Amino acid sequence: MSMSPSSVRVIDPILSNVAQGYAAQDFVGHNLFPRVPVQVTGGQIIEFGKEAFRLYSARRSPGGNTKRIETGYLGKPFSLLQDSLEGKVPREFLRDAARVPGIQLGTRSVNTVMHALMRALEFEQAGIALNVNNYDANHKIDLAAAKWNVDANNPTTDIETGREAIRASVGIYPNLLLLSARAFTAVKNNANVVGRFKYTSADSITEAMLGNLWNLPRVVVGTSTYYDDTAASFQDIWGADAVLAFVPEQVNSMEEPSYGYTYTMEGNPLVEQAYYDNNAKSWIYPVNYERVPVLSGMLAGYLMQNVA
């Protein structure tokens, strides 16, 4: 009988829980693309249009038929991508070289790997969210000639335009604003924004203050970077852009209308049992993460390019 890789893989349940619970402040892409489990490696994205936000009449007359609704429609195909990296605990880190590393050293190794895997996922999520070709003409604007770090331009006006564009398309206001680090710096120093807080607070402007100003429950800042070998320098993953979106605050399944999701194989990320590598004289911790970020509701998003 042939055996699939998953049938012979031995999982470390404790460290898999560590990997699945890993979070880092500098990664914010999960706000736009929350993780939802899938049980297949490929299929079609459940996409949402106006019908997902429609007001349905559920009233039924005696003996009448019960109405049915669709939660979404099958759109573009998706195929999960599998990322695999191994963490290493050198034998020299162990007080007793003959012993297996304890949970603390294993956790440190897995967290180091997860940080690298999450950076790769953040890069992919930003690539989707900042791709101008993923939006129609009513859900994007290029502010290269009206940057927020110029006081003559008012970020609040642009935010309100984006909020209304989303509400006009899906009947609900966005509940999330993702600002790149450069966008956040431009906003909090813009005279039009600073003036709104001049008589109410002497504190530095925070994400929460901007959320209250613009009636947005969540404002997050993408500060993560990556090293570009070609340019030989660090680059901002979220560039100089900003994205407004509607994303459920509590996600239960992929059938809920949302700007985006990260389809994730059930049980991932997972950590395989550690093994000893004689050549490296180290204990090795393989970590696998099978997932793909998808845009499931473009009408629930609004891209602002080159804001800073």
- Residues 50-73 as b/e (b if ≥16 CB within 10 A, e otherwise) read eebbeeeeeeeeeeeeeeeeeebe
What pLDDT, on a 0 to 100 scale, did the predictor assign at position 257?
Answer: 83
What pLDDT, on a 0 to 100 scale, did the predictor assign at position 163?
Answer: 97
Q: Check residues 105 and 94 and name the one with the higher pLDDT.
A: 105
What pLDDT, on a 0 to 100 scale, did the predictor assign at position 7?
Answer: 41
Alpha helices (runs of H) in the chain, residue ranges in sequence order: 5-8, 13-20, 29-32, 103-129, 155-170, 181-188, 191-197, 207-214
Pick the CATH number of 11-52+73-305 from 1.10.150.120, 3.40.50.300, 3.30.380.10, 3.90.1690.10: 3.90.1690.10
In this predicted model, what pLDDT tens digit does every residue of 191-201 receive, in sequence order?
Answer: 999 999 987 77
Is pLDDT at 216 greater than 50 in this prediction? yes
Percent of the chain residues topping a pLDDT of 70: 86
Domain boundaries, the chain: 11-52+73-305
Quote the mean pLDDT of the chain: 88
> pTM of this prediction?
0.87
Q: How confident is the model at residue 291 (pLDDT cuts 50, 70, 90)?
A: very high
Question: In the 3-class helix/strand/coil scheme, how is 121-178 assigned residue by residue?
Answer: HHHHHHHHHCCHHHCCHHHEEECCCCCCCCCCCCHHHHHHHHHHHHHHHHCCCCCEEE
